Structure 1
Amino acid sequence: MAEPKMPDELMRLWRLPTGPRLGRPAELDVDRVVGTAVALADRDGLSGATLPKIAAALHVTPMSLYRYIGSKDELIVLMADLGFGPATEPTGPDGDWRTRLRRWALAQRAIFQRRPWLAAVPVAGPPRGPNAIGWMDAGLRCLRATDLDWAAKVGVITVVSGHVRRAFVVASELEAGSRAAGLEQIQVERDYGRDLVELVDPVRFPDAAGLFAADIWERPPEDPDADFTFGLELVLDGVAAAIDRTRTQN
């Protein structure tokens, strides 16, 4: 009985040949098509990497691109894997999972900051491409010295990377809203606090009223990354608790 054939889209993702090549070498290949798409996304955002625009940049017809990518959805997967690039090697003292995992998270955040369009790529399943697997491998390596089992390690890196992505999306949306209003983010927050303190009834919403009456809305944050850092450290505290719990059970 013949073994099942690996899907063509997975072979293209790993740059494996999908069949015999006859005749002259092709003028294009997967790397050139996907590299052009990433360059367009870097310049114009994900919506700027349409098949007609990619084809125009390569001086071919849009239909001819389907020889190298199976579909627009497959192209997005290929772009995301290339866009993230090879994983950064997690560094830190031996056994210091927290420092290494924090640096792993910060390295991912730096990629989103450099290529914001990656945050708009839908999450269509677990990692499949070589670069995505490389980031998974690096995250798992951060946790190598812990007693967590494989399922827990996968859960940890999924939650950490999810925080990085979501925090970047929220910050970008808030920044876009501030720009649309023609205001700095600190002014938006001040206006929010001043407006709500007048509306929130302390009898109906006692704790929320206490929040809006506090002076946090008037004080600009000392660290613009404070929200991201707080969330990341909160997640890492949870990981530490899970590691301690596993150690005591063993």
Structure 2
Amino acid sequence: MSGEKLPDQLVRMWRLPIGPRLGRPAELDVDRVVGTAVTLADRAGLQGATLPKIAAALGVTPMSLYRHIGSKDELNDLMADLGFGPATELAVSQGEWRADLRRWALAQLEVFRRHPWLTQLPISGPPRGPNAIDWMDAGLRALRATRLDWAAKVGVIMVVSGYVRQGFVLAHQLEHGSRAAGLDQARVEQNYGRDLARLVDPDRYPDAAQLFGSNIFQPPPVVEGSDDHDFTFGLELILDGVAAAVLDAEQGEGDAS
């Protein structure tokens, strides 16, 4: 390394030692502040993890938190990294990139289910924290056996992780909307299909009219795991696209040789 000083935010995020400390250990540190923030967010959503509420839970003043988190934006980054946790338990199959990437995506989905507030945090830039890098590393490992170059690999994991995030947000919004209306999701879709079938003119919207005239919006038979059908369908479409890119890379390398 060049010896240049790392930004304070990265020093705190990676929990690097700042220098020798004299006297008693500080009662407050980054881990306590961020851990408290995550606990509050898990209980009451992101609105429950404001600086005044974090300070009250710790028994300190809000201004004292800035000695450990720098800014509210930095707190968001620290919360995101802690909320995601490490991805080191994700095993890599020998050459089975699709299975590994699917497992990686589904593991992220489970993180969002445990911590729904994560999707409310703004995306402030590329991965920087140790856990975020751990997830990046796991995604890259899934693609290790492919002939994709680094730019393509990064592009793949960005597209997949973006899909997981948006897919969870959409499902979460639909679930809450249905709950607010006192209906389950199947009934909401059934009502939607029935109402639009009456409104859509087949002369003006021929293909849409056929869609609403079909039975796609009727409640499907109950099958274990069917709640994730739409998410899985979209994920497999993306993986199909990745498969095409992997094949192109293999063929391109073969042509070059």
Q: Does the CA contact (< 8 Å) of 2:143 and 2:153 recur in 1? A: yes
Post-superposition Cα deviations, 1:138-180, rounded to whole Å, max 9, x if no partner, equal 0000010000000000001111111111100000000111011
C-alpha separation in 2, matches of 1:102 and 1:155: 16
CA separation of 1:125 and 1:203: change in aligned 2, threshold 3 A:
same
1:249 and 2:249 matched: no
Per the TM alignment, residue 36 of structure 1 is displaced from its structure 2 partner at its CA by 0.4
The one-letter amino acid paired with 2:159 is: V
Gaps of 5+ in 1: none
- Take 1:93 and 1:27, find their aligned partners in 2: how far apart are those partners? 44
What does residue 91 of structure 2 align with?
91
Paired residues of 2:187 and 2:219 also in contact (CA < 8 A):
no
TM-score by length of 2: 0.93
Distance in 2 separating the partners of 1:114 and 1:152: 30
Name the structure 2 match of 1:174. Answer: 174
**Residues paired across the two proteins, number:** 249
Could you tell me whether the CA contact under 8 Å between 1:90 and 1:142 is conserved in 2?
no
192-201 vs 9-18, greater mean Cα deviation:
9-18
Q: Secondary structure at the match of 2:245?
A: helix
**Once the two structures are superposed, what CA deviation does each residue of 1:169-226 show, in whole Å capped at 9, x if it has no partner?**
0000001110111111111111100110010000000000000000111132641110
SS in 2 for 1:202: coil
Equivalent residues of 1:84, 1:131 under 8 A apart: yes
Aligned to 1:103: 103
1:208 aligns with 2:208: yes
Aligned partner letter, 1:37: A
- 1:81 is aligned to 81
How far is 1:46 from its partner? 1.0
User: In 2, distance between residues paired with 1:58 and 1:93?
Assistant: 44
Give TM-score, length-normalised by structure 1: 0.96
Match of 2:233 in 1: 230
CA RMSD of aligned residues (A): 1.4
Q: Distance in 2 between matches of 1:48 and 1:171?
A: 22
Contact 1:167 1:228 in 2 (8 A): yes
Q: Deviations over 1:94-117 (max 9, x none)?
A: 101011111011111111111111
